Chain A
Amino acid sequence: MNALDPIDVFENQRPFGSRPKVAVWKFASCDGCQLTLLDCERELPALGEAVTFAHFPEASSARVEGPYDLSIVEGSITTAHDAAQIRRIRQSSRVLVAIGACATAGGIQALRNFRNVRAFVEAVYAEPDYIDTLAASTPIADHVPVDLELRGCPIAPDALLRTLQSCLRGCLPRFAADSVCMECKRRGAVCVLVARGEPCLGPVTHAGCGALCPGVGRGCYGCYGPKAVVNAPALRAHLPGEARRIARLWVNFNAAAEAFAREGGDAAQDRG
């Protein structure tokens, strides 16, 4: 991942103290993005010395009251309770980083946004009335200001580590805003779209994975979500294959991301 100049989000306020309080929060998600932190096996013990994990229920029973220097938030907002909770978290956090496709683009559970959620709940539960859920699954930034978003389903471990390292030094990292397609070119992989006619979202998908899917000869399925500036309709016109299958490709793990939803939303409504 290419680093640009870091941004000073602290706006000349005091930087984090010597042992900042870090909180890790979970909303609707699979836990994979916070697991990424626990998958940093080499760094974890040192990290445990550099920061205080004040709230990290997946990893620790120790809890320290807020306010927190840094809150890392995984998952999307799908209940009224969670919508209130994320506002409380924002109020007690100096810096808030949203991690992963659920927190930044609603996640796979945002497929409900295209359909009637009541019917969804009735399809799954015998007693739908016990279930409290909102009509849409929404990203954290729809509810509170977010200082940094890490993309991906799941996020890349190096992006998370760089975020933590930067925060400890009083800034936030910036990540290159180019596409999976560019990463693929730099990797020297053969283009699966041009050479093999595989539908691939690489040209419009945010970089960060290192072009994993083209690396195994598979088209990108967009799990890092749309990059900042995309011309999705132009790519759509070039994607080969059955129309319904192509439409589905646009709406999966970042289903609430508008640039993708515009291309595939119709397919998501279609239960055929």
Chain B
Amino acid sequence: MRRRIEVDLLSRVEGTGALTIAVRDGRVEAVRLRIMEPPRLFEALLVGRGWEEAPDITARICGLCPVAYQMSACQAMEALAGVVVTPQIAALRRLLYCGEWIASHCAHMFLLHLPDFLGFPDLMAMAREHGELVRRGLRMKRIGNALMRAIGGREIHPVNVRLGGFYRAPDESALRDLQPELEWGLGAALETAAELGRLEFPALERDYEFVALRHHAEYPIVEGRIVSSRGLECPVEAFDQHIEEHQVPHSTALRARIRGRGAYLCGPLARINLNFDRLGGAAREAAARAGLRVPCTNPFKALLARAVEVTQAFEEALELVRTYVPPRPAAVAPRPVDGVGAGATEAPRGLLWHRYEVDAAGRIRRARIVPPTAQNQAAMEEDLRELAPELLHLDEAAARQRAEWAVRNHDPCISCATHFLDLRVERR
């Protein structure tokens, strides 16, 4: 007996994709997550551009996580130029990034993921029966956006980020004004974690290799070394010695694997498994209320990991706002040198790695960008492979919904994933 589960257009994900699961006599023959997003060829169009343009140009890869692109690009260029920003600039960057984590995670939790758990096609329908939960979620999301606006000028493609720091440091009053909303947000995040912990989670335990940044003191957002749950440990610039990308015919996104091993997972579940001991007090409280314990290998519980990380972001943002001192100067202007630089930060969806070669005049000679969704593609297909036997017992619509749900667990950003590889590629 043959059966195909086809989703011709994935919904509630960012970008254009589809999936196919083919089963024959109870055996899974093929699982394909197809990325149909038209390629935009960023790595090629960056060649010849000015190094100072990289943060603004790469931000346009993704409207949901532009700050992640800006931060990874800045970090790569600063590494190249040998510039270290002041602690005040670093703190303001972290605050901006907290805003993006809050806005992006809340968008995913409430708009994209929760409707699966509660049985609705979208937030608008969910709002009719769960008005209070939806209002709370949207208000939390709005605070993340307000934080990005206060620092970056706007929440999508902020204009205030530059190599070495910011064009202008926001006034203390502009950030202090956000304090009452951030305090409310922290309470709302804890409440949300408890509420989501009471949901029913489909059973699925996976044998992931988790990959994330790890920092000696902080929960990983802006910096750290790259580590995995199976012993990988390397500095950011060595990423491509351990991880390789390859292309498959059914996708315009390149896929990543750990050399000699295979698929791995990055993102909130990976971060929390590898960095639980770096969470703050409120985030640990959120984890306890949500019933999230590590190791956690159920991909559906990424929802809870996000709730805990939103709590972490609110907790940190509140502290950063309380202690905010406008950096003077607002940027440590770097000078270009002929060389290579790599940077990696934790985008809401996971590790985002950039590498640039720049000439002495500051022109980009080569660019390489590895976004989290490209890294997670293989793991997402493996999730579907594991789920497939169970899907066969469901009717067509339910099987499709369950399969899409499993993809949404990882908050794929298909626009990000689409592009990219190195000029020095092996032809196979």
Contact = CB atoms under 8 A, between A and B. Distances in A.
B415 A29 contact: yes
A108 interface: yes
B294 interface: no
B426 A126 contact: yes
Contacts of A272: 48, 363
A78 interface: yes
Interface stretch (B25-33, B121-129, B387-395): B121-129
A58 B108 CA distance: 11
Interface stretch (A6-14, A116-124, A161-169, A227-235): A116-124
A123 to B, nearest CB: 4
B288 interface: no
A100 B114 CA distance: 29
Contacts of A209: 154
A212 B49 contact: no
Nearest to A130: B249
A35 B103 CA distance: 11
Contacts of A47: 124
Contacts of B401: 61
A215 B153 contact: yes
A186 interface: no
Nearest to A35: B63
Nearest to B162: A218
Interface stretch (B36-44, B192-200, B266-274, B343-351): B36-44
B56 to A, nearest CB: 7
Interface in B138-188: 138-139, 141-142, 145, 153-157, 159-160, 162, 166-168
Contacts of A53: 122, 124
Nearest to A111: B45
A128 to B, nearest CB: 10
Interface stretch (B8-16, B229-237, B316-324): B8-16
A233 B255 CA distance: 45
Interface string B43-77: 11101111001001100111110100000000000
Contact of B153 (A57, A121, A216): A216
Contacts of A216: 153, 159-160, 166-168
B156 A154 contact: yes
Nearest to A62: B121
B139 A131 contact: no
Interface residues of A, number: 68
Contacts of A45: 123-124, 127, 131, 134-135, 138
Q: Size band of the B side of the interface?
A: 35 or more
Contact of A41 (B131, B138, B423): B138
Nearest to A215: B153
B107 interface: yes
Nearest to A119: B44
Interface stretch (A65-73, A89-97, A199-207, A245-253): A245-253
A124 B41 CA distance: 7
A38 B363 CA distance: 36
A48 B14 contact: no
Contact of B252 (A41, A58, A63, A131): A131
Contacts of B421: 124-126
B124 A28 contact: no
B159 A32 contact: no
Interface string A214-249: 011110010100000000000000000000010010
A48 B247 contact: no
Given A130-B249, A213-B153, A216-B168, A62 B57 contact: no
A193 to B, nearest CB: 15
Contacts of A57: 9-13, 16
- Among A56, A216, A245, A271, the one with the most B-chain Cβ atoms within 10 Å of its Cβ is A216
Nearest to B401: A61
Contacts of A215: 153
Interface in A3-43: 26-36, 38-39, 41-42
Interface of A: 26-36, 38-39, 41-42, 44-45, 47-49, 53, 56-63, 78-79, 82, 107-109, 111-112, 117, 119-121, 123-127, 130-131, 133, 137, 153-154, 209, 212-213, 215-218, 221, 223, 245, 248, 252-253, 270-272
List 4 tightest A-B contacts by C-beta distance, closest first: A32-B63, A48-B124, A60-B122, A62-B121
